[in-house]
Amino acid sequence: MSGTGAAWEELERSVRGRLRRDPEAIAAVAADGSHLRGTAAGVLAPADVEDVVAAVRWCRRTGVPLVARGGGTSLDGESVPTGGSLVLDLGHFDRILGWETEDRLVRVQPGVVNRALQEAARERGMFFPPNPGSWRTSTIGGNAATNASGPRSYRYGPTRRWVRGWQAVLGSGETVRMETRARKRSVGPDLVGLLVGSEGTLGVFTELLVELAPLPERRQAVVVPLPEGTRLGALRGPLDRASAHGLPLSALEYVDGATGSELARVAPSRIPEGPALLLLELESTDASASSDLESLERLLARAGLSGRASLFPNAEELWTLRGESGLLLDARFGYRVREDVAVPPDRLDALVALIEATAREAEVPVFVYGHLGEASLHPNFVVDPAGPAATAIRRRLLTGVHELGGTVSAEHGLGALKAAYLGLEHGSEGVALLRRLKRLFDPDGILNPGKLYPP
């Protein structure tokens, strides 16, 4: 029955949502933000949770793989369909289901776009802290599936910190709800956090209960040119200490000179062309905004950063511009090796040296930007990501990061591109535990096969 016309007709009869198998629908879900492409056999836009349950149970019976998809912005192939998959298109499963304003909670369907939630929350004096560069199109379900972050994670942490509950359909076909409204609890392992970052390999989110933060009165951003040869580790330390002692820094970002020059082409009056850049955000009250900015200026002067800074009175303008970095490189260079690594803060300069050595040995240009405050960088190596040079670059970089005590993925996940490195991060015992967990949640291995877990 697997993959037969009769089987697909059975699925269509069992759901309320629209099932499509035409070439246009198949092509629309073939790729994500990576260079990878796959082929689906059908695309279902579920009308309700019962449709998701029916789809999972049908996939168990037929052996057809199931891939959940939100905005399709993942960068490592997380939502690229395995051959012959049923794709659950959750992009239209996008209702905000209810607000609990006093407790700063909101319940959403997984297809709600990050930007749409931000706009709705702003009207209530709140915001959702995770703000990945793809925030204008990525969904809350996708943010949770990859434990996404963004510039403001320096202060607020990744998505996992803000997910207070979920409803999901597991690979077994069971519908499970896990959530708590308590601000803390000690009742065994954290089952709420378990599915966050699992890339749709354990269950399909159908609802998420997320916490919001109070909207700051003022958010100012500053762009500071860095002198050539600035050591990022030495720069990060004083800023981090100042933040710990009261300077309201909520983002501490880095853009190298090559990437900064690309940004300067679209904002020449606000971004200097040539030098590497430090990007900072201050969250202030209206009354403290001027004094906070003055405190930052004094700190930067003590650090030897006396170059002309650019002020963005509305920080969102800077992060929208910063989010264009990848798109600008896409337009100029096309697909490339885009990495996402982090190291302990005291190894930040060693990470920079590793990135430079990797690019030099491969004889390819590299563009680097990322989250300085968390020692998390995104090197972009300009090389065909499907070729042998890309494989060598990724191996050199990721093994080097591991030797520095870092992580092979700080916020993008592993997907299909980096699944082979799960063992490097967790070791054979850790991988064995994760495989047993996978079998418990997804006994037939139908959920997003080929992602996260090594082949």
Are residue 129 and residue 195 in the same domain, yes or no?
Answer: yes
Alpha carbon distance 367, 228 (integer Å): 16
- CATH number where 64 lies: 3.30.43.10
The stretch 357-367 carries a mean pLDDT of 98
- Paired tokens of 197: 């970052």
Alpha carbon distance 273, 250 (integer Å): 25
- Paired tokens of 104: 């700063």
Ordered strands of the 203-211 beta sheet: 96-100, 105-108, 203-211, 163-170, 175-179
The residue among 67, 92, 117 that closes a domain is: 92
Question: Beta-strand (E) ranges in 76-158?
Answer: 85-89, 96-100, 105-108, 126-127
Alpha carbon distance 237, 239 (integer Å): 6
Are residue 172 and residue 116 in the same domain, yes or no?
Answer: yes
Let me know if residue 405 belongs to a domain: no
Structurally, how many domains does the chain consist of? 3
Q: What is the pLDDT of residues 292-318, one digit of tens each?
A: 999 999 999 988 887 788 999 999 999
Are residue 64 and residue 101 in the same domain, yes or no?
Answer: no
Let me know if residue 300 belongs to a domain: yes
Per DSSP, the three-state class of 165 is strand
Are residue 51 and residue 72 in the same domain, yes or no?
Answer: yes
Distances 39 to 89, 108, 171 between C-alpha atoms, Å: 14, 29, 21
Q: What is the pLDDT of residues 230-276, one digit of tens each?
A: 999 999 999 999 999 999 999 999 999 999 999 998 888 889 999 99
HSE-CB of 327 using CA atoms within 13 angstroms: 12
What rounded mean pLDDT belongs to the chain? 95
Direct distance between the N- and C-terminal alpha carbons of the chain, in angstroms, rounded to an integer? 26
Token pair 């930067």 in the structure block, residue: 300
Using pLDDT thresholds of 50, 70 and 90, give the confidence band for residue 2. low
Question: Beta-strand (E) ranges in 85-202?
Answer: 85-89, 96-100, 105-108, 126-127, 163-170, 175-179
How many helices (H) and strands (E) in the chain?
Answer: 15, 19
Let me know if residue 41 belongs to a domain: yes
Give the range of the structural domain holding residue 44, as residue numbers without chain letter: 5-92
Q: What backbone phi and psi angles, to 5 degrees, belong to 214?
A: -65, 140
Are residue 104 and residue 205 in the same domain, yes or no?
Answer: yes
Let me know if residue 455 belongs to a domain: no
Q: What is the pLDDT of residues 135-165, one digit of tens each?
A: 899 999 999 999 999 999 999 999 999 999 9
Q: What is the pLDDT of residue 268?
A: 87
Let me know if residue 454 belongs to a domain: no
Are 252 and 373 within 8 A, CB to CB?
yes
- CATH number where 140 lies: 3.30.465.10
Q: What is the pLDDT of residue 388?
A: 96
**Whole-model pTM?**
0.95
- Paired tokens of 268: 């020449």
- CATH number where 229 lies: 3.30.70.2190
The residue among 187, 214, 241 that closes a domain is: 214
Are residue 108 and residue 70 in the same domain, yes or no?
Answer: no
DSSP state of 82: P
Are residue 317 and residue 223 in the same domain, yes or no?
Answer: yes
Cα-Cα-Cα-Cα dihedral sign, residues 290, 292, 293, 297: positive
Are residue 100 and residue 203 in the same domain, yes or no?
Answer: yes
Let me know if residue 453 belongs to a domain: no
Q: What is the pLDDT of residues 206-226, one digit of tens each?
A: 999 999 999 999 999 999 999
Are residue 246 and residue 161 in the same domain, yes or no?
Answer: no
pLDDT at 1 over 50: no
Are residue 110 and residue 209 in the same domain, yes or no?
Answer: yes
User: Strand pairing of 376-381 and 366-371?
Assistant: antiparallel
Q: What is the pLDDT of residue 183?
A: 86
- Which of 182, 181, 175 minimizes the C-alpha distance to 205? 175
Let me know if residue 345 belongs to a domain: no
pLDDT at 452 over 80: yes
Are residue 251 and residue 205 in the same domain, yes or no?
Answer: no
The residue among 25, 57, 92 that closes a domain is: 92
Let me know if residue 160 belongs to a domain: yes
Are residue 280 and residue 301 in the same domain, yes or no?
Answer: yes
Query: Above pLDDT 70, what percent of the chain?
Result: 99
